[in-house]
Every structure is written in structure tokens, then in C-alpha cells.
């Protein structure tokens, strides 16, 4: 039990640092809440091939991860920006936004980032926790002929 908690805490920290770093590079600044949200997104997105078969292609895993990120970002935005009024981000001026908290522009950008998060999560689980070595197909692995 403790080792499982430590594993997920380690993965959450990796995700938080990477997400925070991406924001620093992309925007030039970030907010501590983004570390928390980034770690949560990493755990959820990285877990896709733990919840689905490895035969599910990386593209589909990334699309599922992107949808999860959009939901997490919407929930986090409603808490952080609307309820707590911290004004960390506001996409109200962008077309195709939902309540100013998620934008179609950024959702599309999350697809390759989700694929990277899946790969990084799998790599860390393989190297640090001796889990299955990562192996992917782009769309879907076909059945083996007998």
C-alpha cells in the first residue's frame, strides 16, 4: 500500500514539474496551482494504457488523455478561476471556449503533449517500478495471424 502511494506520488511530482516547466517555457510564468493540476493530469493521462489494453493505439490513448485533460482543466478552472477568483487563466476572448476555462485551440495542442505524457509515464513505470516495457502502435495493433 505504501509503495503504491509512493509510486503515484512520484509520478504526480514528475507530472507537476513537467507541466509547470512547459508553462514557464510557453507563457513565461505559471502559478502553483498548475503544479497540482499538472500532476493530476499526468496520473490520469499516463494511466490510459493501464486501464485500456496496450493494443489500443497511441493516437487513441492521446485522444482519451486529451479529453481527460479538458475535463480536469474545466473543473480546475471553475475552482481556481471562478470560485477562488485567482484569475490564473481566462480563455473568454478565444473562440470555441467553454466558460472561459477551456478552449478548442489548447485542446488540440494537448494531443501531442498527452502522447508524450503517456510515453513518459510508461517509461518511468518501466525504469523505476519494473512494470511492463512500453510498446505502442500508432492506431491499433491488428490481431496476430495463426
Which of 8-12, 94-98, 124-128, 138-142 bottoms out in mean pLDDT, i.e. has the lowest? 138-142
Tens-digit pLDDT profile for residues 90-127? 999 999 999 999 999 999 999 999 999 999 999 999 99
User: What pLDDT was estimated at residue 144?
Assistant: 46
pTM, rounded to two decimals = 0.90
Contact 125, 54 (CB under 8 A): no
Percentage of the chain modeled with pLDDT above 70 = 96
Q: Give CA–CA dist 70/21, Å, rounded.
A: 19
Please say whether the dihedral angle defined by the alpha carbons of residues 16, 21, 24 and 29, taken in this order, is positive or negative.
positive
**Beta-carbon neighbour count of residue 85 at 10 Å?**
7
Amino acid at each position: 500500500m505504501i509503495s503504491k502511494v509512493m509510486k503515484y506520488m512520484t509520478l504526480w511530482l514528475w507530472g507537476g514539474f513537467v507541466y509547470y516547466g512547459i508553462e514557464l517555457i510557453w507563457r513565461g510564468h505559471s502559478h502553483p496551482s498548475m503544479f497540482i493540476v499538472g500532476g493530476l493530469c499526468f496520473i490520469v493521462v499516463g494511466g490510459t494504457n493501464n486501464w485500456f489494453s496496450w493494443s489500443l493505439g497511441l493516437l487513441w490513448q492521446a485522444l482519451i488523455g486529451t479529453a481527460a485533460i479538458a475535463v480536469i482543466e474545466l473543473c480546475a478552472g471553475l475552482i481556481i478561476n471562478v470560485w477562488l477568483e485567482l484569475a490564473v487563466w481566462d480563455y473568454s476572448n478565444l473562440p470555441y471556449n467553454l466558460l472561459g476555462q477551456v478552449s478548442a485551440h489548447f485542446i488540440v495542442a494537448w494531443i501531442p503533449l498527452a502522447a508524450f505524457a503517456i510515453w513518459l509515464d510508461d517509461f518511468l513505470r518501466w525504469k523505476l517500478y519494473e512494470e511492463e516495457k512500453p510498446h505502442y502502435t500508432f492506431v491499433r495493433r491488428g490481431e496476430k495471424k495463426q
